[in-house]
A and B are shown apart, each in its own frame.
Chain A
Amino acid sequence: MVIVSSSNFLDLDLDNQKKIKLGLDLQGGSYLLLELDNEPVIKQKLQSKLLEIKDYFKKNKIKILSLKLDDKLIKLKVSKDDVEKVEKIFNDKESTINPYYFQYKGHQLNVKINGDVFNLELSKYGIILIKNASLDQAIEIVRKRVDEVGTNEPNILKRGNDRILLELPGLDNPDRIKSLLGKTADLAFRLESKSSNESFGTEKLKLIETGEELLLSKRVIISGDNLVDASPRMDSLNNQTVVSFTLDRVGSKRFAQATKRNIGTRLAIVLDGQIISAPVIRDVIAGGSGQISGGFTFQSATDLALLLRSGALPAPLNIIEERTVGPDLGQDSINAGILSLIIGFLLVIGFMTLKYRIFGIIANFTLIINLILLISILTLLEATLTLPGIAGIILTVGMAVDANVLIFERIKEETSKEKNNLIAFDIGYSKSKITILDANITTIIAAIILFIFGSGPVKGFSITLCVGILTTLFSVFFIARLLTSIYVKINKHKEIIIK
């Protein structure tokens, strides 16, 4: 054990293969916690469930008297004679319209029957599955966007079923990433509508640049999904920055048809509920590529192209926590941490030498071994070292001597009763063992609870504290014990005085 970790410690200096990772508070960087606002996704899912139910009943020739969505409740009314049959359909374990029973021992929809009306709402499992799916999708897109910006080793983690943790080391200004992640990037090409009674429905949206309101059809001609590529470009004709895009096959076909039929109409390019631009269609656009102009700067065109390439988020992401540390503050923290570690270490070592002389030196040697072990194990575990983590190491230095002190004090007592040094030392060790274990287990319990509930840098503290206690116990019971027994054997017949 000791050989493995100390050789690893040497490796650390030789080829730098395994390193202690520095936390964001030490190396500088940004920590963002994002939350996915799943409400629209859930609503959408319920809408499509409504259609699914309609199809299913049609296929099975059951008459629906009424079917509507009331907030998050699907209300289904059937004729009285069908109630029993419909109930069976929804509660069947192999039901295709109300699935998941075999995976989760629970259905997708909870069914409550009120006379001839079925009240259907998403069950716990139904909601979790929707959330998980949209979170996975969101993580993919977040990863694409962050990678495109080109940050150093970003760390993207799932937290629960609607949160994403984003760690961006070395980034001291997360504003660009934040603004990129703040956009859903839901792109749609829609036509201007002449009258408000169109079959697809219409809505009024604003043009960003002019504030002009346009009445648009709700029919989406092509969406962001149809895009294969997008990039910023300088339009040489009017010296404007534009975003040029390429469509997939389906998109190209639809785009060509729509432009052919609607020459003279305005085509609105809608991003996240706002119109970027709405040029008048002058000709058929058949090649499957085009460009969006909208008074972009080169930066905003680059960002829009990036967003379009990485795809739309399934739902809006909200930043609910942000912590950014500049690199110079991180360096200051490292310096302060190391300075206080060295001073704390020297103070403790000086104190122990003054107090216990030769045994103090043994305790100090043990402490050094202990520190080396602690750092090696943290390296082996590839733990992240944070500022509170350094504080944990310093605290370990202060508390680690406790075990040796307990033993020395006990031996002191025993030597006053027992003349044989060897026996006195043995009793000293065995009698203090239980006390030392008891005392250290209490600190470990506290540290483990802190690890479970703590977040970020504080977790680093609990890890160093935990590992520190284990290495302390090891070094006291093996290293210090070995050293003291050698010393006692040499001085078997002399009177040994522990001050």
Chain B
Amino acid sequence: MKKDYKFNQYYKSLNIFSITLILLSLIFLIFKGLNYGVDFKGGTLIEIRVETEKPDIEVLRSSFNKLNLGKISIKNFGSDNDFVVKFKRDELNDPEFIENLQKNLSQELTQDFSFRRVENVGPKVSSELLKAGVTAICLSLIAMLIYIWIRFEWQFSVGAIAALFHDVIITLGIFSALSLEINLSIVAAVLTIVGYSMNDTVVIYDRVRENLKKYSDIKIFDLTNLSINETLSRTIITSSTTLLALVSIFLFGGEILKGFSLAMILGVILGTYSSIFIANPLLVFFKVSQKTVLKEDN
């Protein structure tokens, strides 16, 4: 059951599609920006559970609005009874703040409630966390570049890194477009996507290089297609099992892991796509041939 799909026919059209997506993502990232959570923006987050059947978010909102906390945001969080309240607060030093808030709120709100989670991040820490997150993502890209530079020829490194940028930018672009929250776990997801996407690209590239050495008469355009086909079942199976695991986290892992698993699901789909339709066309573009890989071996 030899597979022979003509992936290379779609190189051009899908590249145009990808470039469009990247441009759209960049437009969103530049003009709309990312929706940073308290980790990166600073402020206070309270997860609150209201102990009645179907509590009304508007009642909760008006109760909070009476407490003079400035601009607040309230969102339903998972179940009907759980909400996340976020507001800005630069001064974290009032130790009684949360206690007082709880007291004042119980005067406004008739239903029983409890604070399930409280996060306060000061402006100094949030800017440090943001810096660390950006550094980590940049460093991981550089590390991948170096690794693949050592293992492959430069044309391959450029292709793999282009695929990585593609995945990271579009994932972040989708987060920006949908106003999904960026927090520490999203950074973890992006780094894992970087690792995963690279993994996928390396498997196909390994095969391309092997085939380059084996066949001197096949043009790179068809040779990449052959290599994609040869590794296709592995690509499909591995992304399927990874996606199965991630979907399980997304559906059953609780509200806190939702953003993380969503980012990972997007990243795995994009990573699989880009290692076929971004990484390979670039090898064609650079006119990689048998000479490219043999030169390196001598």
Q: Are the chains A and B members of one assembly?
A: yes
- How far is it, in angstroms, between the C-alpha of A452 and the C-alpha of B137 when the chains are bound? 12
| A337 with B254, Cβ < 8 A, contacts A401-B238, A446-B140 known | yes
Residues of A within 8 A of B206 (CB): 434-435, 438
Q: Which of A47-55, A213-221, A323-331 contacts B (4 or more CB under 8 A)?
A: A323-331
**Nearest Cβ distance between residue B41 and chain A, in whole angstroms?**
13
Contact A320 B257 (CB under 8 A): no
- How far is it, in angstroms, between the C-alpha of A461 and the C-alpha of B264 when the chains are bound? 13
Residues of A within 8 A of B264 (CB): 395
Q: Which of B63-114 contact A (CB under 8 A)?
A: 92-93, 95-96, 98-99, 114
Contact B185 A325 (CB under 8 A): no
Annotate A424-459 by CB proximity to B: 1 below 8 A, 0 otherwise.
000000000011001111111111011011111110
Q: Which one, B194, B203, B244, contacts A406 given CB within 8 A?
A: B203
Annotate A319-360 by CB proximity to B: 1 below 8 A, 0 otherwise.
111111110110011001101110110011001100100000
A interface majority secondary structure:
helix
Confirm or deny: A182 has a beta carbon within 8 angstroms of a beta carbon on chain B: yes
Contact B132 A175 (CB under 8 A): no
User: Once A and B bind, how many residue pairs between them come within 8 Å at the CB atom?
Assistant: 232
| A395 with B187, Cβ < 8 A, contacts A387-B256, A405-B237, A449-B136 known | no
| A326 with B192, Cβ < 8 A, contacts A320-B122, A351-B240, A453-B136 known | no
- How far is it, in angstroms, between the C-alpha of A178 and the C-alpha of B96 when the chains are bound? 8
| A320 with B249, Cβ < 8 A, contacts A326-B114, A439-B199 known | no
Contact B135 A453 (CB under 8 A): yes
Contact B199 A336 (CB under 8 A): no
**Nearest Cβ distance between residue B76 and chain A, in whole angstroms?**
16
Confirm or deny: B30 has a beta carbon within 8 angstroms of a beta carbon on chain A: no
Nearest residue, chain A, Cβ from B99: A175
Contact A398 B253 (CB under 8 A): no
| A446 with B191, Cβ < 8 A, contacts A348-B244, A394-B245, A453-B135 known | yes
Contact B147 A442 (CB under 8 A): yes
Contact B139 A449 (CB under 8 A): yes
Contact B241 A333 (CB under 8 A): no
Confirm or deny: A33 has a beta carbon within 8 angstroms of a beta carbon on chain B: yes
Contact B203 A329 (CB under 8 A): no
Residues of A within 8 A of B153 (CB): none
Nearest residue, chain B, Cβ from A335: B254
- How far is it, in angstroms, between the C-alpha of A178 and the C-alpha of B119 when the chains are bound? 14
| A387 with B257, Cβ < 8 A, contacts A320-B122, A445-B195, A455-B129 known | yes
Contact B253 A336 (CB under 8 A): yes
Q: Which of B7-15, B19-27, B211-219, B228-236 contacts A (4 or more CB under 8 A)?
A: B228-236
- How far is it, in angstroms, between the C-alpha of A25 and the C-alpha of B187 when the chains are bound? 18
| A454 with B184, Cβ < 8 A, contacts A395-B264, A438-B202, A442-B198 known | yes
Confirm or deny: A388 has a beta carbon within 8 angstroms of a beta carbon on chain B: yes
Q: Which one, B119, B147, B230, B247, contacts A322 given CB within 8 A?
A: B119
- How far is it, in angstroms, between the C-alpha of A152 and the C-alpha of B183 when the chains are bound? 29
Contact A450 B136 (CB under 8 A): yes
Residues of B within 8 A of A374 (CB): none
Contact B195 A461 (CB under 8 A): no
- How far is it, in angstroms, between the C-alpha of A394 and the C-alpha of B246 when the chains are bound? 8
Looking at B98, B122, B124, B249, the one whose CB has the most chain A CB atoms below 10 A away is B249
Q: Which one, A181, A319, A340, A395, contacts B120 given CB within 8 A?
A: A319
Residues of B within 8 A of A352 (CB): 241
Interface size class of A (residues with CB under 8 A): 35 or more
Residues of B within 8 A of A332 (CB): 254
Confirm or deny: B125 has a beta carbon within 8 angstroms of a beta carbon on chain A: yes
Nearest residue, chain B, Cβ from A450: B191
- How far is it, in angstroms, between the C-alpha of A258 and the C-alpha of B85 when the chains are bound? 55
Confirm or deny: B59 has a beta carbon within 8 angstroms of a beta carbon on chain A: no
Contact B196 A435 (CB under 8 A): no
- How far is it, in angstroms, between the C-alpha of A439 and the C-alpha of B115 when the chains are bound? 44
Contact A449 B98 (CB under 8 A): no
- How far is it, in angstroms, between the C-alpha of A442 and the C-alpha of B188 when the chains are bound? 15
- How far is it, in angstroms, between the C-alpha of A227 and the C-alpha of B208 when the chains are bound? 78
**Nearest Cβ distance between residue A326 and chain B, in whole angstroms?**
5
Confirm or deny: B144 has a beta carbon within 8 angstroms of a beta carbon on chain A: yes
Confirm or deny: A208 has a beta carbon within 8 angstroms of a beta carbon on chain B: no
Contact B95 A179 (CB under 8 A): yes
Residues of B within 8 A of A395 (CB): 192, 242, 245-246, 249, 264
- How far is it, in angstroms, between the C-alpha of A336 and the C-alpha of B251 when the chains are bound? 9
Residues of A within 8 A of B114 (CB): 326, 328
What is A's interface to B at a CB cutoff of 8 Å?
A: 25, 33, 35, 173, 175, 178-179, 181-182, 318-326, 328-329, 332-333, 336-337, 339-341, 343-344, 347-348, 351-352, 355, 387-388, 390-391, 394-395, 397-399, 401-402, 405-406, 409, 413, 434-435, 438-447, 449-450, 452-458, 461-462, 465
* 19 A-B residue pairs with CB within 8 Å: A25-B256, A179-B95, A325-B116, A336-B252, A337-B257, A344-B249, A348-B241, A351-B237, A391-B249, A391-B260, A395-B246, A398-B243, A405-B238, A409-B231, A409-B233, A435-B203, A439-B199, A443-B192, A446-B192
In the A-B complex, the 6 residue pairs with the closest CB atoms? A398-B245, A446-B195, A336-B254, A344-B248, A178-B95, A453-B136
